[in-house]
Amino acid sequence: MCGTCGCGEADVRVEALQGGRDPAHGTGHSHGHAPVGGVVEIETALLAKNQHLAEHNRAWLAERGIVALNLMSSPGSGKTSLLCRTITAVAGARPVAVVEGDQETRLDAERIRGTGAPVVQINTGAGCHLDADMLARGLAELRPVDGSLVFVENVGNLVCPALFDLGEAARVVVVSVTEGEDKPLKYPAMFAVADVVVINKIDLLPYVDVRLEHLTAHCRSVNPGVRVLPLSVTTGEGIGAWCDWLLTTVPVSV
């Protein structure tokens, strides 16, 4: 078990799904394993190492004018569906590529590939999040063109991904109305690090016991400055505002 987040031993595999190139498989685990009594010290060292690698990623991306966005959520929020619709909507304005994170399978990456966007699958095994080293390996395989918009779909989890800076320009948390109003209050660390909260599946509001204004207020109670974008991937309502925000987001200066 990892001292940082408690996840199991990860067998990380990075695989490109575009252009018929041979997949590059890798194994490794970026967490340290803490001996009894040394958890705090090792956790601090691990996070410091990850931060160093994240800054390297950030500089690499900035040099190429690439905007990387870290998409985080619980499973089933609609991240992949949002990405598929977004790629179609913005592809004419900006090159788009995707780093897809899951514990197992290529299912979501295959859906992304169906849009025509370059995609790399990272399978973390028992690991519960992506980290800066995994993203660096994914970017090396993906080789996004300069000026790209790169979406990083993190492993579905509202806890651990909040701890790990990847070098992204912004963090986006996706929550669906079917998850209830209380997610920002139950998982405040995740919502506190968000630059944007996308509230998905608003077409289902008439059928669930959720008030959009309450969910929005809960997001801002833990993160007063967060931008909240309600939308429906199914109907397209609100997609325009989401795409407008994406296309005005710029690389982070370093």
Q: Is residue 2 part of a domain?
A: no
Residue range 141-156: mean pLDDT, rounded = 97
pLDDT band at 195 (very low <50, low <70, confident <90, very high): very high
Q: Is residue 121 part of a domain?
A: yes
Q: Is residue 254 part of a domain?
A: no
* Percent of the chain clearing pLDDT 90 (strictly above): 77
Total domain count, the chain: 1
pLDDT tens digits, one per residue of 93-102? 999 999 999 9
CA distance 38 to 187: 26
pLDDT band at 25 (very low <50, low <70, confident <90, very high): very low
Residue 102 has a pLDDT of 94
* HEC letters along 108-127: HHHHHHCCCCCEEEEECCCC
φ, ψ of residue 69 to 5 degrees: the values are: -120, 130
Q: Is residue 71 part of a domain?
A: yes
202: domain CATH number is 3.40.50.300
34: pLDDT strictly greater than 70:
no
Are the C-beta atoms of 150 and 69 separated by less than 8 Å? yes
- Within a 13 Å sphere around the CA of 15, how many CA atoms are in the beta-carbon half? 20
Residue 227, helix vs strand vs coil: strand
Residue 145, helix vs strand vs coil: coil
Q: Length of the chain in residues, anyone?
A: 254
pLDDT band at 133 (very low <50, low <70, confident <90, very high): very high
CB neighbours of residue 37 within 10 Å: 7
Q: Is residue 139 part of a domain?
A: yes
Can you give the residue range of the structural domain that contains 91?
13-248
30: pLDDT strictly greater than 70:
no
